[in-house]
Amino acid sequence: MNLRDKINQCITQLAAVYDSREARNILELAIEHLKGWNKVDILMNSDKEVSDFISGKIDAIVDRLLRYEPIQYILGETYWHGLKLKVAPGVLIPRPETSQLVDIITDDNHASDLSVLDICTGSGAIAVALSRNLDFPDVTALDISKDALGIAEENDRDLHTGVKFIMADILKPLPFDNGSFDIIVSNPPYICESERQEMSANVLDFEPSIALFVPDSDPLKFYRPIAAEGHRIARDGGRLYLEINPAHADALKSLLVSEGWTDVTILNDITGRRRFIKAVKGE
């Protein structure tokens, strides 16, 4: 069987889980991982016979996809914000919205040697992206998960970004002096338990619940300490950037104002949803 027919066969198999365009994109990622071929290479080699070895590898990937396992976990990597990052079930797969958050921060901050803190870093995606895109920043990142920090450190080593990682719990006082950071950023858990029913199986069955969900009774569970501790450890004029649940944007804005943050602004994501908040510590 040639490569074109193999891809079409797999797209048919995956029809119960993915539409044809998404299935094709996923299969192209798998083939790039297995063969090192980009989309042009795949097209140029579409008439070539697929070896039994590669065919078996593709079939194994399709079997896992049919059980709703995300392709990023199957391959152990994802492309995000121009970076190839390691991912595993112990960390969330970085989303396009979070890439937009990185763009917002880099567009706002052109000074060099800024001190940056990423809270709830997970795979380290935000931390390493800021390290590469800001002008000689000093980036620190924290997470409560040992597994997540291990993956984040691998991404840091692979991308040569020099991020400092520490294990810390945002629900407890943070080990930093007052006025330590110019930029504080966080994409903490913010999906309410009642929203589970709206989510797909590839998220619910594979991505870590601890990094996704908060109780319906306390949707700002992580933002409350971030707002308070963040204000303490931010420098005068320092900036706070958060990815948020659109349903609780107004409540979070009020919380930030009550903690002393100024210029609190809600920003839309690429789909038009209220997805981010930025604020400034008044001087």
pLDDT in tens, 95-132: 999 999 999 999 999 999 999 999 999 999 999 999 99
Burial class (CB in 10 A: 0-12, 13-18, 19+), 15: exposed
Query: Which pLDDT band, with edges at 50, 70 and 90, does 90 fall under?
Result: confident
Checking phi first, is residue 227 left (phi over 0); if not, alpha (psi -120 to 50) or beta?
Answer: alpha
Q: What is the mean pLDDT of residues 71-78?
A: 96
Mean pLDDT score of the chain, rounded to an integer? 95
Residues 21-38 have pLDDT tens digits of 999 999 999 999 999 999
Distances from the Cα of 254 to the Cαs of 8, 77, 144, 173, 277, in angstroms? Answer: 52, 38, 27, 22, 11
Q: Tell me, what's the pLDDT at 46?
A: 93
Residues 152-182 have pLDDT tens digits of 999 999 999 999 999 999 999 999 999 999 9
Structure tokens, 172:
């407890």
Q: Tell me, what's the pLDDT at 201?
A: 81
Query: Which pLDDT band, with edges at 50, 70 and 90, does 16 fall under?
Result: confident
Query: Which pLDDT band, with edges at 50, 70 and 90, does 275 fall under?
Result: very high
Does residue 207 have a pLDDT over 90? no
Q: Tell me, what's the pLDDT at 206?
A: 86
d(CA 128, CA 121): 10
Q: What is the percent of the chain with per-residue pLDDT over 70, rounded to a whole number?
A: 100
Does residue 78 have a pLDDT over 90? yes
**Does residue 219 contact residue 195 with C-beta atoms inside 8 Å?**
no
Q: Tell me, what's the pLDDT at 274?
A: 97
d(CA 70, CA 78): 10
Predicted TM-score (pTM) of this structure: 0.93
